[in-house]
Chains A and B, each alone.
Chain A
Protein backbone atom coordinates (compact mmCIF):
# COMPACT_ATOMS: atom_id res chain seq x y z
CA UNK A 1 0.00 0.00 0.00
CA UNK A 2 1.13 3.51 -0.76
CA UNK A 3 0.20 6.57 1.29
CA UNK A 4 -0.72 9.59 -0.82
CA UNK A 5 -0.80 12.91 1.03
CA UNK A 6 -2.36 15.66 -1.05
CA UNK A 7 -3.07 19.36 -0.85
CA UNK A 8 -6.61 20.34 -1.81
CA UNK A 9 -7.80 23.57 -3.41
CA UNK A 10 -8.27 25.47 -0.13
CA UNK A 11 -4.60 26.41 0.28
CA UNK A 12 -5.55 30.11 -0.07
CA UNK A 13 -7.28 29.92 3.30
CA UNK A 14 -3.80 29.68 4.81
CA UNK A 15 -2.12 32.43 2.79
CA UNK A 16 0.50 33.86 3.30
CA UNK A 17 1.66 30.83 5.32
CA UNK A 18 1.21 28.65 2.23
CA UNK A 19 2.78 30.95 -0.34
CA UNK A 20 6.05 29.03 -0.02
CA UNK A 21 4.84 25.69 1.38
CA UNK A 22 2.10 23.16 0.97
CA UNK A 23 -0.79 23.10 3.42
CA UNK A 24 0.34 19.71 4.70
CA UNK A 25 3.74 21.21 5.62
CA UNK A 26 2.17 23.56 8.16
CA UNK A 27 3.08 22.89 11.76
CA UNK A 28 0.47 22.09 14.38
CA UNK A 29 1.86 20.59 17.57
CA UNK A 30 5.37 19.22 17.53
CA UNK A 31 5.13 18.08 13.93
CA UNK A 32 3.67 19.13 10.61
CA UNK A 33 0.30 17.91 9.38
CA UNK A 34 2.05 15.57 6.92
CA UNK A 35 4.39 14.14 9.56
CA UNK A 36 1.36 13.25 11.67
CA UNK A 37 -0.39 11.64 8.69
CA UNK A 38 2.57 9.33 8.12
CA UNK A 39 1.70 7.69 11.44
CA UNK A 40 -1.32 6.14 9.71
CA UNK A 41 1.03 3.70 8.01
CA UNK A 42 4.63 4.35 9.02
CA UNK A 43 5.79 1.38 6.99
CA UNK A 44 4.19 2.53 3.74
CA UNK A 45 5.97 4.47 1.00
CA UNK A 46 4.65 8.04 0.71
CA UNK A 47 3.99 10.29 -2.27
CA UNK A 48 2.79 13.88 -2.27
CA UNK A 49 0.60 16.01 -4.49
CA UNK A 50 0.42 19.83 -4.26
CA UNK A 51 0.29 22.95 -6.44
CA UNK A 52 2.65 22.57 -9.37
CA UNK A 53 4.44 25.81 -8.43
CA UNK A 54 5.61 24.15 -5.21
CA UNK A 55 6.75 20.90 -6.78
CA UNK A 56 10.46 21.78 -7.26
CA UNK A 57 10.92 22.88 -3.62
CA UNK A 58 8.89 19.96 -2.30
CA UNK A 59 11.11 17.56 -4.25
CA UNK A 60 14.09 19.13 -2.47
CA UNK A 61 12.47 19.03 0.97
CA UNK A 62 10.63 15.71 0.92
CA UNK A 63 12.42 12.49 0.20
CA UNK A 64 9.51 11.17 -1.86
CA UNK A 65 7.80 11.53 -5.25
CA UNK A 66 5.88 14.79 -5.76
CA UNK A 67 3.09 15.25 -8.33
CA UNK A 68 4.07 12.03 -10.02
CA UNK A 69 1.04 10.34 -11.65
CA UNK A 70 2.91 7.01 -11.49
CA UNK A 71 2.41 7.21 -7.70
CA UNK A 72 -1.29 6.58 -8.33
CA UNK A 73 -0.64 3.25 -10.05
CA UNK A 74 1.08 -0.03 -9.21
CA UNK A 75 -0.17 -0.42 -5.65
CA UNK A 76 -3.20 -0.11 -3.40
CA UNK A 77 -3.60 3.49 -2.31
CA UNK A 78 -4.56 5.30 0.85
CA UNK A 79 -5.20 8.91 -0.11
CA UNK A 80 -5.28 11.44 2.73
CA UNK A 81 -6.16 15.11 2.56
CA UNK A 82 -3.25 17.12 3.97
CA UNK A 83 -5.63 19.25 6.01
CA UNK A 84 -6.56 16.34 8.28
CA UNK A 85 -5.17 16.95 11.76
CA UNK A 86 -4.46 13.41 12.84
CA UNK A 87 -4.53 13.29 16.63
CA UNK A 88 -4.72 9.51 16.84
CA UNK A 89 -3.52 7.19 14.07
CA UNK A 90 -6.36 4.79 14.89
CA UNK A 91 -8.76 7.45 13.58
CA UNK A 92 -7.86 6.42 10.06
CA UNK A 93 -8.04 2.65 9.62
CA UNK A 94 -5.69 1.39 6.95
CA UNK A 95 -7.54 -1.80 6.03
CA UNK A 96 -11.00 -2.13 4.58
CA UNK A 97 -12.96 -1.91 1.36
CA UNK A 98 -12.61 0.77 -1.26
CA UNK A 99 -14.38 3.85 0.04
CA UNK A 100 -14.22 7.62 0.16
CA UNK A 101 -13.86 9.07 3.65
CA UNK A 102 -15.47 12.35 4.56
CA UNK A 103 -15.55 14.51 7.63
CA UNK A 104 -18.61 16.74 7.47
CA UNK A 105 -18.55 18.24 4.00
CA UNK A 106 -14.84 17.69 3.44
CA UNK A 107 -13.40 14.68 1.69
CA UNK A 108 -10.49 13.63 3.85
CA UNK A 109 -9.30 10.73 1.79
CA UNK A 110 -10.04 7.44 0.12
CA UNK A 111 -8.99 3.86 0.17
CA UNK A 112 -8.54 2.64 -3.40
CA UNK A 113 -7.39 -0.79 -4.55
CA UNK A 114 -4.76 -1.01 -7.28
CA UNK A 115 -7.15 -2.30 -9.95
CA UNK A 116 -9.68 0.47 -9.34
CA UNK A 117 -6.99 3.15 -9.27
CA UNK A 118 -5.46 1.94 -12.53
CA UNK A 119 -8.85 1.74 -14.23
CA UNK A 120 -9.46 5.36 -13.28
CA UNK A 121 -6.16 6.39 -14.96
CA UNK A 122 -6.14 9.65 -12.98
CA UNK A 123 -3.14 11.97 -12.78
CA UNK A 124 -3.99 13.60 -9.45
CA UNK A 125 -5.81 12.60 -6.22
CA UNK A 126 -8.79 14.91 -6.75
CA UNK A 127 -9.23 13.51 -10.24
CA UNK A 128 -9.02 9.96 -8.90
CA UNK A 129 -11.57 10.58 -6.14
CA UNK A 130 -13.93 12.23 -8.63
CA UNK A 131 -13.52 9.26 -10.99
CA UNK A 132 -14.54 6.85 -8.24
CA UNK A 133 -17.98 8.47 -8.36
CA UNK A 134 -20.92 6.47 -7.12
CA UNK A 135 -19.11 3.18 -7.64
CA UNK A 136 -17.40 3.58 -4.28
CA UNK A 137 -19.35 4.42 -1.11
CA UNK A 138 -18.60 7.49 1.01
CA UNK A 139 -18.29 6.94 4.73
CA UNK A 140 -18.50 9.72 7.28
CA UNK A 141 -15.79 9.61 9.93
CA UNK A 142 -15.05 11.79 12.93
CA UNK A 143 -11.91 13.86 12.92
CA UNK A 144 -10.45 17.32 12.85
CA UNK A 145 -9.86 19.11 9.58
CA UNK A 146 -8.19 22.50 9.59
CA UNK A 147 -9.87 24.92 7.22
CA UNK A 148 -8.34 28.29 8.12
CA UNK A 149 -4.93 29.37 9.37
CA UNK A 150 -6.21 30.46 12.79
CA UNK A 151 -7.43 26.91 13.41
CA UNK A 152 -3.80 25.74 13.53
CA UNK A 153 -3.36 27.94 16.60
CA UNK A 154 -6.66 26.84 18.08
CA UNK A 155 -5.75 23.14 17.84
CA UNK A 156 -2.07 23.52 18.71
CA UNK A 157 -2.29 22.59 22.43
CA UNK A 158 -4.15 19.34 21.81
CA UNK A 159 -1.82 18.54 18.89
CA UNK A 160 1.21 18.98 21.16
CA UNK A 161 -0.32 16.54 23.65
CA UNK A 162 -1.06 14.04 20.86
CA UNK A 163 2.47 14.34 19.47
CA UNK A 164 3.96 13.83 22.93
CA UNK A 165 1.99 10.61 23.32
CA UNK A 166 2.88 9.44 19.82
CA UNK A 167 6.60 10.09 20.37
CA UNK A 168 6.40 7.79 23.38
CA UNK A 169 9.32 9.22 25.29
CA UNK A 170 9.50 10.98 28.64
CA UNK A 171 12.08 11.84 31.25
CA UNK A 172 15.14 13.98 31.65
CA UNK A 173 17.95 12.51 29.58
CA UNK A 174 19.96 15.62 28.72
CA UNK A 175 21.68 18.16 30.94
CA UNK A 176 19.33 19.55 33.56
CA UNK A 177 20.72 21.92 36.18
CA UNK A 178 20.22 21.09 39.84
CA UNK A 179 18.83 24.61 40.10
CA UNK A 180 16.17 24.07 37.44
CA UNK A 181 12.86 22.51 38.35
CA UNK A 182 9.92 20.61 36.97
CA UNK A 183 6.74 21.92 38.55
CA UNK A 184 4.28 19.06 38.13
CA UNK A 185 4.68 15.53 36.87
CA UNK A 186 8.14 14.55 35.64
CA UNK A 187 6.39 12.00 33.42
CA UNK A 188 5.14 14.95 31.40
CA UNK A 189 8.54 16.26 30.39
CA UNK A 190 11.12 15.05 27.91
CA UNK A 191 14.57 16.57 27.78
CA UNK A 192 16.48 15.04 24.84
CA UNK A 193 20.04 13.71 25.31
CA UNK A 194 21.78 16.73 23.78
CA UNK A 195 19.48 19.39 25.30
CA UNK A 196 20.64 21.72 28.08
CA UNK A 197 18.46 23.29 30.74
CA UNK A 198 20.30 25.97 32.68
CA UNK A 199 19.73 27.04 36.31
CA UNK A 200 16.63 29.02 37.26
CA UNK A 201 14.40 27.44 34.67
CA UNK A 202 10.91 26.33 35.69
CA UNK A 203 9.11 23.78 33.54
CA UNK A 204 5.46 23.67 34.55
CA UNK A 205 3.83 20.45 33.35
CA UNK A 206 0.57 20.84 35.27
CA UNK A 207 -1.22 21.97 32.11
CA UNK A 208 0.36 19.48 29.74
CA UNK A 209 3.59 17.89 28.51
CA UNK A 210 6.77 19.72 27.59
CA UNK A 211 9.25 18.40 25.02
CA UNK A 212 12.72 19.90 24.85
CA UNK A 213 14.21 18.36 21.74
CA UNK A 214 17.78 17.62 20.66
CA UNK A 215 20.28 20.47 20.91
CA UNK A 216 17.87 22.87 22.60
CA UNK A 217 19.34 25.28 25.14
CA UNK A 218 17.12 26.91 27.76
CA UNK A 219 18.75 29.94 29.33
CA UNK A 220 18.20 31.00 32.96
CA UNK A 221 15.05 32.85 34.02
CA UNK A 222 12.78 30.99 31.65
CA UNK A 223 9.37 29.64 32.63
CA UNK A 224 7.86 27.10 30.24
CA UNK A 225 4.24 26.03 30.62
CA UNK A 226 2.92 22.83 29.05
CA UNK A 227 1.73 21.83 26.63
CA UNK A 228 4.81 23.00 24.77
CA UNK A 229 7.20 21.73 22.13
CA UNK A 230 10.66 23.20 21.62
CA UNK A 231 12.27 21.97 18.41
CA UNK A 232 15.81 20.85 17.82
CA UNK A 233 18.54 23.45 18.03
CA UNK A 234 16.25 26.18 19.33
CA UNK A 235 17.50 28.49 22.06
CA UNK A 236 15.17 30.04 24.62
CA UNK A 237 16.91 33.15 25.87
CA UNK A 238 14.75 33.77 28.92
CA UNK A 239 11.16 34.78 29.38
CA UNK A 240 7.67 33.36 29.74
CA UNK A 241 6.80 30.60 27.32
CA UNK A 242 3.18 30.15 28.18
CA UNK A 243 0.91 27.22 27.34
CA UNK A 244 0.30 25.99 23.82
CA UNK A 245 3.56 26.98 22.11
CA UNK A 246 5.35 25.07 19.36
CA UNK A 247 8.73 26.20 18.14
CA UNK A 248 10.28 24.42 15.17
CA UNK A 249 14.01 23.93 14.63
CA UNK A 250 16.72 26.55 15.14
CA UNK A 251 14.66 29.43 16.53
CA UNK A 252 15.74 32.06 19.02
CA UNK A 253 12.91 32.91 21.38
CA UNK A 254 12.62 35.26 24.32
CA UNK A 255 10.11 37.59 25.95
CA UNK A 256 6.52 36.43 26.39
CA UNK A 257 4.96 33.93 23.99
CA UNK A 258 1.53 32.35 24.36
CA UNK A 259 -0.26 29.75 22.20
CA UNK A 260 1.89 30.45 19.19
CA UNK A 261 3.60 28.47 16.48
CA UNK A 262 7.00 29.51 15.19
CA UNK A 263 7.54 27.31 12.16
CA UNK A 264 11.34 27.23 12.37
CA UNK A 265 14.53 29.22 11.76
CA UNK A 266 12.99 32.45 13.07
CA UNK A 267 13.95 34.87 15.79
CA UNK A 268 11.87 36.52 18.45
CA UNK A 269 14.87 37.15 20.62
CA UNK A 270 13.81 40.12 22.68
CA UNK A 271 11.10 41.26 25.07
CA UNK A 272 7.67 41.82 23.60
CA UNK A 273 4.52 39.71 23.46
CA UNK A 274 3.64 37.18 20.77
CA UNK A 275 0.27 35.52 21.27
CA UNK A 276 -1.99 33.26 19.19
CA UNK A 277 0.35 33.76 16.25
CA UNK A 278 1.81 31.71 13.43
CA UNK A 279 5.27 32.87 12.37
CA UNK A 280 6.87 31.30 9.28
CA UNK A 281 10.58 30.71 8.59
CA UNK A 282 13.41 33.26 8.46
CA UNK A 283 11.38 35.89 10.28
CA UNK A 284 13.03 38.35 12.62
CA UNK A 285 10.87 40.20 15.12
CA UNK A 286 12.67 43.30 16.36
CA UNK A 287 12.92 44.10 20.05
CA UNK A 288 9.59 44.94 21.70
CA UNK A 289 7.58 43.80 18.71
CA UNK A 290 4.21 43.02 20.25
CA UNK A 291 0.94 41.75 18.89
CA UNK A 292 -2.57 42.03 20.25
CA UNK A 293 -4.52 38.77 20.40
CA UNK A 294 -7.62 39.98 22.22
CA UNK A 295 -9.81 42.97 21.52
CA UNK A 296 -10.75 45.31 24.35
CA UNK A 297 -14.44 44.55 23.85
CA UNK A 298 -13.83 40.78 23.75
CA UNK A 299 -15.57 40.53 20.37
CA UNK A 300 -14.51 38.02 17.74
CA UNK A 301 -11.48 38.87 15.65
CA UNK A 302 -11.61 39.61 11.91
CA UNK A 303 -8.72 38.55 9.69
CA UNK A 304 -8.00 39.54 6.08
CA UNK A 305 -8.42 36.46 3.94
CA UNK A 306 -8.25 36.66 0.15
CA UNK A 307 -8.69 40.43 0.31
CA UNK A 308 -11.76 40.35 2.53
CA UNK A 309 -12.14 40.79 6.27
CA UNK A 310 -13.35 37.45 7.61
CA UNK A 311 -14.82 36.84 11.04
CA UNK A 312 -12.80 34.06 12.64
CA UNK A 313 -15.51 33.44 15.24
CA UNK A 314 -12.70 33.35 17.76
CA UNK A 315 -11.92 35.98 20.40
CA UNK A 316 -8.24 35.07 20.65
CA UNK A 317 -6.41 35.56 17.38
CA UNK A 318 -2.96 37.07 17.08
CA UNK A 319 -0.96 37.56 13.90
CA UNK A 320 0.18 35.56 10.89
CA UNK A 321 3.59 36.39 9.50
CA UNK A 322 4.99 35.12 6.20
CA UNK A 323 8.52 33.86 5.53
CA UNK A 324 11.52 36.21 5.44
CA UNK A 325 9.61 39.12 7.02
CA UNK A 326 11.29 41.46 9.48
CA UNK A 327 9.80 43.90 11.96
CA UNK A 328 11.61 46.87 13.40
CA UNK A 329 12.01 47.58 17.08
CA UNK A 330 8.79 48.63 18.71
CA UNK A 331 6.43 47.27 16.06
CA UNK A 332 2.85 46.92 17.29
CA UNK A 333 0.70 44.45 15.39
CA UNK A 334 -3.06 44.74 15.64
CA UNK A 335 -5.36 41.85 16.59
CA UNK A 336 -5.62 39.44 13.65
CA UNK A 337 -2.93 41.10 11.54
CA UNK A 338 -1.69 39.32 8.43
CA UNK A 339 1.81 40.18 7.25
CA UNK A 340 2.94 38.68 3.97
CA UNK A 341 6.17 37.15 2.77
CA UNK A 342 9.41 39.16 2.70
CA UNK A 343 8.08 42.34 4.25
CA UNK A 344 10.00 44.98 6.12
CA UNK A 345 7.68 46.45 8.74
CA UNK A 346 8.82 49.67 10.37
CA UNK A 347 7.21 50.83 13.60
CA UNK A 348 4.95 53.83 13.32
CA UNK A 349 4.24 54.37 17.01
CA UNK A 350 0.71 53.17 16.39
CA UNK A 351 -0.83 49.79 15.61
CA UNK A 352 -0.07 48.39 12.19
CA UNK A 353 -2.70 47.99 9.47
CA UNK A 354 -4.40 44.60 9.64
CA UNK A 355 -3.09 43.51 6.26
CA UNK A 356 0.42 44.06 4.98
CA UNK A 357 0.84 42.54 1.52
CA UNK A 358 3.85 40.43 0.59
CA UNK A 359 7.12 42.01 -0.60
CA UNK A 360 6.60 45.51 0.78
CA UNK A 361 8.26 47.87 3.17
CA UNK A 362 5.74 49.45 5.51
CA UNK A 363 7.16 52.83 6.42
CA UNK A 364 5.50 55.93 7.85
CA UNK A 365 2.06 54.52 7.14
CA UNK A 366 2.79 53.74 3.50
CA UNK A 367 3.40 50.55 1.59
CA UNK A 368 6.43 50.63 -0.70
CA UNK A 369 7.78 47.89 -2.97
CA UNK A 370 10.83 46.24 -1.51
CA UNK A 371 14.14 46.26 -3.33
CA UNK A 372 13.77 42.61 -4.30
CA UNK A 373 17.31 41.75 -5.34
CA UNK A 374 18.80 43.44 -2.26
CA UNK A 375 16.27 41.70 -0.01
CA UNK A 376 17.07 38.35 -1.60
CA UNK A 377 20.73 38.99 -0.83
CA UNK A 378 19.76 39.70 2.78
CA UNK A 379 17.74 36.45 2.87
CA UNK A 380 20.76 34.51 1.65
CA UNK A 381 22.88 36.11 4.38
CA UNK A 382 20.29 35.31 7.07
CA UNK A 383 20.12 31.69 5.93
CA UNK A 384 23.89 31.30 5.79
CA UNK A 385 24.04 32.38 9.45
CA UNK A 386 22.07 29.20 10.23
CA UNK A 387 24.11 27.09 7.80
CA UNK A 388 21.36 26.92 5.19
CA UNK A 389 21.38 28.05 1.59
CA UNK A 390 18.60 29.42 -0.57
CA UNK A 391 18.28 26.93 -3.40
CA UNK A 392 17.56 27.93 -6.98
CA UNK A 393 14.11 26.35 -6.63
CA UNK A 394 13.37 28.37 -3.48
CA UNK A 395 14.55 31.57 -5.18
CA UNK A 396 12.33 30.82 -8.17
CA UNK A 397 9.38 30.18 -5.85
CA UNK A 398 9.92 33.54 -4.13
CA UNK A 399 9.99 35.21 -7.53
CA UNK A 400 6.77 33.42 -8.50
CA UNK A 401 5.13 34.39 -5.20
CA UNK A 402 6.11 37.99 -5.84
CA UNK A 403 4.40 37.90 -9.24
CA UNK A 404 1.35 36.14 -7.80
CA UNK A 405 0.87 38.75 -5.07
CA UNK A 406 1.51 41.81 -7.28
CA UNK A 407 -2.16 42.75 -7.77
CA UNK A 408 -2.94 42.91 -4.04
CA UNK A 409 0.35 44.70 -3.39
CA UNK A 410 -0.25 47.31 -6.10
CA UNK A 411 -3.74 47.91 -4.72
CA UNK A 412 -2.40 48.46 -1.19
CA UNK A 413 0.44 50.72 -2.39
CA UNK A 414 -1.97 52.83 -4.43
CA UNK A 415 -4.48 53.06 -1.58
CA UNK A 416 -1.85 54.00 0.98
CA UNK A 417 -0.61 56.79 -1.31
CA UNK A 418 -4.11 58.16 -1.69
CA UNK A 419 -5.65 57.54 1.72
CA UNK A 420 -3.18 55.78 3.99
CA UNK A 421 -3.40 52.05 4.71
CA UNK A 422 -6.71 50.37 5.53
CA UNK A 423 -7.36 49.65 9.21
Chain B
Protein backbone atom coordinates (compact mmCIF):
# COMPACT_ATOMS: atom_id res chain seq x y z
CA UNK B 1 0.00 0.00 0.00
CA UNK B 2 1.39 3.40 -0.96
CA UNK B 3 2.07 6.08 1.59
CA UNK B 4 -0.86 8.11 0.23
CA UNK B 5 -3.18 5.09 0.44
CA UNK B 6 -2.16 4.40 4.03
CA UNK B 7 -2.74 8.00 5.09
CA UNK B 8 -6.10 8.12 3.28
CA UNK B 9 -7.09 4.94 5.13
CA UNK B 10 -6.13 6.41 8.52
CA UNK B 11 -7.88 9.76 7.94
CA UNK B 12 -11.01 8.03 6.67
CA UNK B 13 -11.12 5.63 9.64
CA UNK B 14 -10.62 8.44 12.15
CA UNK B 15 -13.25 10.76 10.67
CA UNK B 16 -15.90 8.15 9.94
CA UNK B 17 -15.19 6.27 13.17
CA UNK B 18 -14.69 2.90 11.48
CA UNK B 19 -11.94 0.29 11.90
CA UNK B 20 -8.92 0.92 9.63
CA UNK B 21 -9.19 -2.67 8.36
CA UNK B 22 -12.69 -1.92 7.11
CA UNK B 23 -11.36 0.83 4.85
CA UNK B 24 -10.49 -0.91 1.59
CA UNK B 25 -9.79 0.50 -1.89
CA UNK B 26 -13.18 -0.73 -3.01
CA UNK B 27 -15.02 0.78 -0.03
CA UNK B 28 -17.75 3.19 -1.05
CA UNK B 29 -17.67 6.22 1.29
CA UNK B 30 -21.46 6.47 1.59
CA UNK B 31 -22.70 2.93 1.04
CA UNK B 32 -19.99 0.96 2.86
CA UNK B 33 -18.54 3.44 5.35
CA UNK B 34 -21.71 5.41 6.17
CA UNK B 35 -20.42 8.88 5.28
CA UNK B 36 -23.13 11.53 5.49
CA UNK B 37 -23.03 14.65 3.32
CA UNK B 38 -21.42 16.77 6.02
CA UNK B 39 -18.81 14.07 6.69
CA UNK B 40 -17.95 14.06 3.00
CA UNK B 41 -17.12 17.76 3.26
CA UNK B 42 -15.09 17.07 6.40
CA UNK B 43 -13.22 14.27 4.66
CA UNK B 44 -12.24 16.49 1.75
CA UNK B 45 -11.03 19.16 4.21
CA UNK B 46 -9.11 16.55 6.19
CA UNK B 47 -7.39 15.23 3.06
CA UNK B 48 -6.44 18.79 2.09
CA UNK B 49 -4.95 19.29 5.53
CA UNK B 50 -3.21 15.91 5.61
CA UNK B 51 -1.53 16.38 2.24
CA UNK B 52 -1.29 20.19 2.23
CA UNK B 53 -3.17 20.44 -1.05
CA UNK B 54 -6.17 22.33 -2.36
CA UNK B 55 -8.69 20.19 -4.16
CA UNK B 56 -11.49 21.25 -6.47
CA UNK B 57 -14.38 20.61 -4.10
CA UNK B 58 -16.84 19.68 -6.83
CA UNK B 59 -14.47 17.07 -8.25
CA UNK B 60 -13.42 15.82 -4.80
CA UNK B 61 -17.00 15.37 -3.62
CA UNK B 62 -17.76 13.37 -6.78
CA UNK B 63 -15.21 10.72 -5.77
CA UNK B 64 -17.07 7.70 -4.40
CA UNK B 65 -14.57 5.06 -3.30
CA UNK B 66 -11.42 5.03 -1.19
CA UNK B 67 -9.35 3.78 -4.12
CA UNK B 68 -10.60 6.59 -6.36
CA UNK B 69 -9.81 9.07 -3.58
CA UNK B 70 -6.21 7.82 -3.45
CA UNK B 71 -5.88 8.18 -7.23
CA UNK B 72 -7.41 11.66 -7.15
CA UNK B 73 -5.20 12.83 -4.29
CA UNK B 74 -2.05 11.45 -5.94
CA UNK B 75 -2.94 13.41 -9.07
CA UNK B 76 -3.45 16.64 -7.10
CA UNK B 77 -0.20 16.11 -5.16
CA UNK B 78 1.65 15.62 -8.44
CA UNK B 79 0.17 18.86 -9.81
CA UNK B 80 0.63 21.01 -6.72
CA UNK B 81 3.85 19.63 -5.20
CA UNK B 82 5.73 19.12 -8.47
Contact = CB atoms under 8 A, between A and B. Distances in A.
B38 A369 contact: no
B41 interface: yes
B45 A366 contact: yes
Contacts of A372: 57-58
Interface residues of B, number: 12
Contact of B45 (A368, A373, A374): A368
A416 B63 CA distance: 25
A373 B57 CA distance: 9
Contacts of A369: 54, 57
Contact of A374 (B49, B54, B61): B61
B67 to A, nearest CB: 21
A361 interface: yes
Contact of A363 (B42, B57, B60, B61): B42
Contacts of B48: 368
B38 A346 contact: yes
A371 interface: yes
A343 B65 CA distance: 27
B61 A368 contact: no
A363 B41 contact: yes
How extensive is the interface on chain A, given as a class? 10 to 19
B58 A368 contact: no
Contacts of B49: 417
Contacts of A177: none
Main secondary structure of the interface of A (DSSP, over half): mixed
A158 B28 CA distance: 58
Interface in B32-66: 38, 41-42, 44-45, 48-49, 54, 57-58, 60-61
Main secondary structure of the interface of B (DSSP, over half): helix
Contacts of B42: 363-364, 368
A116 interface: no
Contact of B41 (A368, A373, A417): A368
Interface string A364-380: 10101111111000000
B5 to A, nearest CB: 22
A105 B49 CA distance: 48
Contacts of A361: 41
A372 B55 CA distance: 12
Interface string A336-370: 00000000001000000000000001011010111
A159 to B, nearest CB: 40
A303 B38 CA distance: 29
Contacts of A346: 38
Contacts of A368: 41-42, 44-45, 48, 57
A338 to B, nearest CB: 22
A411 to B, nearest CB: 13
B57 A371 contact: yes
A115 B10 CA distance: 75
Residue among A364, A366, A371, A417 with the most chain B CB within 10 A? A371
A40 B60 CA distance: 53
A370 B41 CA distance: 9
B39 to A, nearest CB: 10
Interface string A77-105: 00000000000000000000000000000
Given A346-B38, A363-B38, A371 B45 contact: no
Contacts of A373: 58
Contacts of A417: 49
A366 B38 CA distance: 13
A369 B57 CA distance: 7
Nearest to A346: B38
Contacts of A363: 38, 41-42, 45
Contacts of B61: 371, 374
A374 B57 CA distance: 9
B44 A374 contact: no
Contacts of B45: 363, 366, 368
A370 B61 CA distance: 10
Given A368-B41, A369-B54, A372-B57, 6 more contacts: A363-B45, A364-B42, A368-B48, A368-B57, A371-B57, A371-B58
Interface of B: 38, 41-42, 44-45, 48-49, 54, 57-58, 60-61
18 contacts: A346-B38, A361-B41, A363-B38, A363-B41, A363-B45, A366-B45, A368-B41, A368-B42, A368-B57, A371-B57, A371-B58, A371-B60, A371-B61, A372-B57, A372-B58, A374-B57, A374-B58, A374-B61
Question: Across chains A and B, which 5 residue pairs bring their CB atoms closest together, nearest first?
Answer: A371-B57, A368-B45, A373-B58, A371-B58, A417-B49
